[in-house]
Amino acid sequence: MKLQQLLSYTRKAVDDYKMIFPGDKIAIGVSGGKDSLAMLYALKHLQQFYPHPFEVTAITVHLGYEEFCLDKIQDLCKTLEIPLHIVNTDIAKIIFEDRKEQSPCSLCAKMRKGALNQKAKEIGCNKVAYAHHKDDIIETMLLSLIYEGRFYAFSPVTYLDRMDLTVIRPMMYVSEADVIGFQNRYHLPVEKNPCSQDGFTRREYVKNLLRTLNLENPGVKNRMFTAILNGNIPGWPERRI
């Protein structure tokens, strides 16, 4: 996928769900994975022509893994002229050594988001951008159906009243396959996730299930996404038609 296509998908999401307003200062959560690095490109280039002027800054929450190197992330942010703030934490130690969590993903995500949102507030941001793409949204819906018995997917725009922050998901129309194509075309400096649980989660199971379903029933993934968009899920804002 070329940058122009990425920008087209991103702008459509931003316009459809009114994600950006004049004067917004947006913190981009950067994990080092392909999704967040692609979002850096998308929002930085969108900033150059979008009718509503806005600022972007990057935040990386370091979980405390010694093998997680930030050099490539720092270099990319410098190239794109995006300020980068690093939040050093002991999240990995707390989860795996102190608490010895058997199912650590939920707690880890909660602590990471808490650290990210807190830093965003400290540096004066009013919005935080998460790099969830189309496949993430569909997988979340399937996880909710299978394990919770409800039809749910996280919203494109979510206001966090306790933090007075708004979470936006500008990558929601971008498929994971397109992100991979963008990564390969632009040689994104992806930093491998050092977590021992990576690839062995419920989400990974659902990801593989969705891949099988789509192979056996071509187009089912897009039909599921359409069902989500039209599903009147509680908490979702009205979509601009």
Q: Please, is 117 exposed, middle or buried when counting C-beta atoms within 10 Å of its C-beta (0-12, 13-18, 19+)?
A: buried
> Would you say residue 42 lies in a domain?
yes
User: What angle separates helix 176-186 from helix 34-47, to the nearest 10 degrees?
Assistant: 80
Q: How confident is the model at residue 105, as a pLDDT?
A: 76
Domain residue limits at 185: 3-229
Q: How confident is the model at residue 183, as a pLDDT?
A: 96
> Would you say residue 121 lies in a domain?
yes
> Would you say residue 108 lies in a domain?
yes
> Would you say residue 210 lies in a domain?
yes
Q: How confident is the model at residue 97, as a pLDDT?
A: 74
Instruction: Count structural domains, the chain.
Output: 1
> Would you say residue 32 lies in a domain?
yes
Q: How confident is the model at residue 201, as a pLDDT?
A: 77
Q: How confident is the model at residue 102, as a pLDDT?
A: 66
Q: Roughly how many angstroms between the first and final C-alpha of the chain, as a whole number?
A: 25
- Alpha-carbon gap, residue 183 to 171, rounded angstroms: 14
Q: What strands lie across the sheet with 165-168, from one edge to the other?
A: 84-88, 55-62, 25-29, 127-129, 165-168, 157-160
Q: What is the CATH number of the domain that holds 97?
A: 3.40.50.620
> Would you say residue 168 lies in a domain?
yes
The encoded tokens of residue 230 equal 């039209």
Q: How confident is the model at residue 195, as a pLDDT?
A: 67
Residue 58, Cβ neighbours under 10 Å: how many? 26
> Would you say residue 238 lies in a domain?
no
> Would you say residue 240 lies in a domain?
no
Q: How confident is the model at residue 187, as a pLDDT?
A: 94
Reading the chain (241 residues) residue by residue, the pLDDT tens digits are 899 999 999 999 999 999 999 999 999 999 889 999 999 999 999 999 999 999 999 999 987 777 778 889 999 999 999 999 999 887 877 877 777 666 777 788 888 899 999 999 999 999 999 999 999 999 999 999 999 999 999 999 999 999 999 999 999 999 999 999 999 999 999 987 676 666 557 888 999 999 999 999 999 999 999 999 999 999 999 888 6
